[in-house]
Chain A
């Protein structure tokens, strides 16, 4: 009798859909909270440097003078500490996960020049 236990499971599996996904033809559906990679809305960034200070692995570099925010994609551990500490909430963790690569790239984002009035406003806020 006991031998029939697993036979039932086997038969059920034989006639049901596979539990796996046909990768890569069928892409993975991510959840809203999935911590995939860090994205920055560079327009809103004030280059305060908090994210680079908080980053446990030191993957983020902020150059205030050049208005440049860069991240080593493979140094990032997707912990979300930078997102949490950002005062302007211009960082977010978004799907998908980082893709495999042959090199370890550093991605840099430079803030384009702003209109003069807006720019001075921004600088004031950054100094506070």
Chain B
């Protein structure tokens, strides 16, 4: 007869540096149910909008998350730009696109490293992060910050990349692409890696839809939705298709993310070839009045910025729905029926960012 027991998981766990706590109901080694609790690091950044004016809040918005900080800043700025009816200059849109894709590459490389770390392949983890370091250097060279970039403002961007810098970056990306091709073989073909990832934590297409999953987590279950297709920044002028997989297990999520890195490198090449000359920012005159839902595609999935403005310099409400918040119910579903030893990998494959979930 099997015995039921409850095993607490987190908020401090060697595999997962994210403050999420799960109560795992086990039957022998099998997980029957998982009850999440978050809220260990709630920072009240949404409340802070009452103290900071809408220009200053850009700096708060990009501090929501340390990995997708560029996209948080951009999502917030785009929402305000939509309310104020500002047309962002084309060059600024292209620069934003390039920085967005660089963020995606560095986020996915970070995730690949963490995944390798979770199944105990330490040197693979080091390889991924070594590559990521080059991207952080490029960020520092172009924006001045490694993690927090502060280049977005309402109306456009603050810094420019000249042709020489872009050429240099493209050269680095060529190198990264070569290195990643070699690493991809290990991630997707290695016997041990396959053993840990194949057929683990399957999320079907229907489940992904019903549980409101987003991003690569959803796309690896076969739903081809990518918010970049909504046409913000310079994406309407670039050629790409959402990357999907039909399997829905951990291996598929790894596969989708790796292919997304290659796609992002391709997008940067396209954007660098097409980038027009021109202004960096349009002037933001007056104060915003109105409301807008801005949907952007972050490395982890769809993020939603709701901004409500009342015509003064202080906004009424800013609400950020981060991708991890939407992915939590899907993750709980995949945990049901898995082995206790697979729990860390399963949590990791949604690419959780609990701190940004709590804002």
Contacts and interface: CB of A to CB of B under 8 A. Distances in A.
A104 interface: no
Contacts, number: 61
A31 B59 contact: no
Interface in A8-36: 8-10, 19, 31, 33-35
Interface string B120-138: 0001100100100100010
B56 A56 contact: yes
B150 A35 contact: yes
Contact of A35 (B127, B137, B144, B182): B144
B220 to A, nearest CB: 22
A78 B148 CA distance: 9
Given A2-B190, A34-B140, A80-B144, A8 B182 contact: yes
Interface residues of B, number: 28
A33 B182 contact: no
Contacts of B190: 2-3, 5-6
Contacts of A6: 123-124, 186, 190
B59 A79 contact: yes
Contacts of B133: 19
Contact of A33 (B52, B144, B185): B144
Given A2-B185, A5-B182, A5-B189, A56 B60 contact: yes
B355 interface: no
A33 to B, nearest CB: 4
A68 interface: no
Contacts of A19: 130, 133
Interface in A26-72: 31, 33-35, 54, 56
Contact of A5 (B52, B142, B186): B186
A93 interface: yes
A54 B57 CA distance: 11
Q: Which of A79, A84, A93 has the most CB of B within 10 A?
A: A79
Contacts of A9: 123, 127, 182-183, 186
7 contacts: A5-B185, A9-B127, A31-B141, A31-B144, A35-B145, A54-B56, A56-B56
Given A33-B143, A33-B144, 15 more contacts: A3-B190, A5-B189, A9-B127, A9-B182, A9-B186, A19-B130, A31-B140, A31-B144, A33-B141, A33-B159, A56-B52, A56-B59, A56-B60, A78-B145, A79-B59
